[in-house]
Structure 1
Amino acid sequence: MYTQTIVYKTVESSSILADLYWEESAKPLPILIYLHGGALMMGSRKLINQDQLLKYLAAGYMVIALDFRLIPETKLPDIIEDVKDAFQWIRKNASQYAPVNLNKIAVIGHSGGAYLALLSGYLITPRPCAIVSFYGYGDVFWKCIPEADKNKQLLPFLSKEETIKSIGTPNISENFDLGTRLPFYLHCRATGEWPIALLGIDPKLHPEKFVRYCPIKNIDAQYPPTFLLHGDRDTVVPYTQSQQMANELQKAKITSRFQLVPNADHAFDMNGLKDNTIEKYFSDVIEFLDQYCK
């Protein structure tokens, strides 16, 4: 396996990084962009699971794991610009590292990264050849619902002033230690203020400003083939988010697949592929990607 860490853009004094992974190949490799989870508040490109990475490489893909700026310091439109700029960097530079097929770029995301992946289906030009969403969401309005009872079990309820101490670094784009920003995340979930952190606007006052950022409301005839996977016991993102997205894709006659994973919570795949059932789902993902990216 070959690896290379690159800077795909610089914002002020902050370098935003990506990790490239590939195997030697005589044929052009399709590209799989990985977008990490963490509610767009936490996480890093380093969250990519090694078992999954090796499976993608063995299937003949170059994998590019991205960092992107995080909320609330950066708002969603600028995060989308990061993803767009990553696509541009890839199209200009990826061929310096390995033979690649720039007409075959797919996006895979987990949780918040899956939300970004679904956004890429209509906000990125040219569009991805396929999208894979693990426990993602196509609508942001459900996150307006306060969940104080659930989240007070994880941390004592903290005031906004206390939680704000866990954030504030300008243009942060990598936070591998999820716990450092967890208080702010839980505060947003408990109060229903995640959409405000996302755009800096209250969706209850200006719901129209959020429509552009709800994939479920922006499916058109050119939306890419999409595979959605979600655990039926997800306690973080309701599986109905993927189910509803799948229904809308079907109504629009977009090639899609929805896999409800039995007895599975959020991030059901992050312990690797030792479970034969989870490994089978990843084989299905590879089969789906191969159909539209090769």
Structure 2
Amino acid sequence: MSFDLKSYIQLYNPHQETVDFLKARASRDAKPSFEDGVTAVREAAIKTSKDFGGNVDFSGIEKEILIPPSTTTDTLPITSYKPDTSERSSALPIVVYFHGGGNVTKSRKTNENVCRILANDVPCIVVNVEYRLAPEHKFPKNNEDAKRAVEWVAKNQEVVGGTSDSKLGVVGDSAGGRLAAVVCHEAYTLIDFAILVYPKVDYTKTYKSTEEFRFGPLLPKKRSDWYAHQYIKEDDRCLPRASVILNKDFSYLPPTLIIVAEHDQLRDGCYEYYEKLKASGVTAQIELIKGVPHSFWSLPDNLCQNSSNSASSHEIILCSKGIQIKM
């Protein structure tokens, strides 16, 4: 059985932006690209980003930096975005950003507009990380890249445009949200706040939302399982570094904002992770964006219109609020 757009609209009455996007996307996709292999999936992700990601003007300083190689790894590319904040006297916060894509697709390029929006609208300095992808680099290689990026930025805040007084946070969506959550556990002394956008927190459990949105939209279970197969061995899925929700202690984590898409198979895992944060005494906030599917965050041209009628027009405000609280 495949995703039926007509039935989905009748059952859920999604936001009109969601309907328009899914119709436009369906008219361009011949068949599920993941069935054609990794190269096809990556090409499809680039095309979707070009077609629906928009073009964001950025008047600040944008520069590529290579984090020096370690004894076991090569250089790690990042792009920093520092907004024009000549009227702001206090130090800008720095956020290290991890893109989504199931640990297999996407890149700094596919998510650059989201980073520019965050930099412009929060405002903050955004560091966009080009971590390694599977299947060439399986778990936990991108975990190592994520931690390495945070540790380097923490020691080199001035290099990316910040100051010694800049607060440091992590942001990520989907697979990148998992990386951000993992780094919060593994480098918690360095991180002042976290924003997790529909993070993948569990490789071991089937949630109610997993079954509810088994066929989509945008992230059907078959696709999600394919990503996992490319990325991680069965025996590793129960490790807390993979399924971050399985960590025993959450009490030391930084204040965290979780942003959830209503029509997403990852939704209920996000709520369970939030409950663990709250039960551990962590300052935590969860915001459900109604009427939208997985991937809304990374497609701002179609699913983040700047209007009061937008399905997700307030998520940047939420991010700004979250960063202000977490400073």
Residues 258 and 270 in structure 2, CA contact (< 8 A), matched pair in contact too: yes
CA distance in 1, matches of 2:69, 2:253: 30
CA distance in 1, matches of 2:161, 2:119: 16
Say if 1:285 and 1:99 are closer, same or farther in 2 by CA, change over 3 A: closer
Distance 1:257 1:95 in 2: 30
**Residue 316 of structure 2 is aligned to residue 288 of structure 1:** no
**Helix, strand or coil for the counterpart of 1:80?**
helix
- Which residue, 213, 224, 230 being the options, matches 1:197? 230
Are the aligned partners of 2:94 and 2:126 in contact in 1 as well (CA < 8 Å)? Answer: yes
Of stretches 213-222 and 27-36 in structure 1, the one that deviates more from structure 2 is: 213-222
Residue 22 of structure 1 corresponds to 82
CA contact (8 A) 1:24 1:98 kept: no
- Equivalent residue for 1:39, pick from 102, 116, 121: 102
5 Å-filtered alignment, 1:252-267, equals: 252-267=280-295
**1:131 equivalent in structure 2:** 194
Aligned to 1:4: 63
Kept in 2, the 8 Å contact 1:40–1:71? The answer is yes
> Percent same amino acid at aligned positions?
19
Per-residue CA distance 1:272-293 (angstroms, 9 max, x = gap):
4324342212201111111112
Q: 1:106 aligns with which of 153, 169, 174?
A: 169
Whether the aligned pair in 1 keeps the contact of 2:94 and 2:125 (CA below 8 Å) is yes
Q: Bigger shift: 86-95 or 66-75?
A: 86-95
Structure 2 gap segments, 5+ residues each: 1-59
Tell me the equivalent position of 1:213.
Answer: 242
Counterpart residue identity of residue 54, structure 1: I
Partner of 1:176: none
The within-5 A match list for 1:63-102 is 63-101=126-164
CA contact (8 A) 2:127 2:160 kept: no
Supply the distance in 1 between the matched residues of 2:158 and 2:223 (Cα, whole angstroms).
45
Once the two structures are TM-superposed, the CA of residue 16 in structure 1 deviates from its matched residue by 2.8
Q: Is residue 2:252 matched to residue 1:222?
A: yes
Deviation at residue 248 of structure 1 after TM alignment = 1.5
Task: For residues 206-237 of structure 1, give each alpha carbon's deviation from its aligned partner in whole angstroms, at most 9, with x where no partner exists.
Answer: 76x52443221224211111111111112xx3
Q: Deviations over 1:220-264 (max 9, x none)?
A: 211111111111112xx3311111111211221211111122111
Work out the CA distance in 2 between the residues paired with 1:85 and 1:13: 10
Is contact 2:171–2:196 with CA below 8 Å preserved after alignment? yes
> Partners in 2 of 1:33 and 1:231 — Cα distance?
22
**What is the TM-score when the length of structure 1 is the normalising length?**
0.74
Q: Helix, strand or coil: the match of 2:239?
A: helix
Specify every segment of 5 or more residues in structure 1 that has no aligned partner in the other structure, as ranges: 155-184
Give yes or no for contact 1:229–1:259 (8 Å, CA) kept in 2.
yes
After superposition, what is the alpha-carbon deviation per residue over 1:58-85, rounded to whole angstroms, capped at 9, x for unaligned?
4331111011001122122221111122
Q: How many angstroms does 1:122 deviate by? A: 0.3
Kindly indicate whether the alpha-carbon contact (under 8 Å) linking 1:9 and 1:85 is maintained by their aligned counterparts in 2: no
Q: How has the CA–CA distance of structure 1 residues 196 and 48 changed in structure 2, closer, same or farther, with 3 Å as cutoff?
A: closer
Alpha carbons 1:127, 1:224 under 8 Å: kept: no
Q: CA deviation at 1:196?
A: 4.6
- Equivalent position of 2:276 in the other structure: 248
Which residue of the partner structure matches residue 231 of structure 1?
261
Please say if residues 143 and 194 of structure 1, whose CA atoms lie closer than 8 Å, have aligned partners that are also in contact. no
Amino acid corresponding to residue 139 of structure 1 in structure 2: D
Alpha-carbon distance between aligned partners in 2 of 1:79 and 1:102, rounded to the nearest angstrom:
28
8 Å CA contact 2:239, 2:246 repeated in 1: no
Per the alignment, do residues 51 and 127 of structure 1 end up closer, same or farther by CA in structure 2, a change over 3 Å counting? closer
Partners of 1:287 and 1:36 in 2: CA distance:
21
User: How far did 1:115 drift?
Assistant: 0.9
Contact kept? 1:143, 1:193, Cα under 8 Å? no
Within 5 Å, give how 1:180-191 maps onto structure 2: 189=222
* Cα distance, 1:150–1:212 mapped onto 2, change above 3 Å: same
Matched residues, number: 254
Question: SS of 2:67's equivalent?
Answer: strand
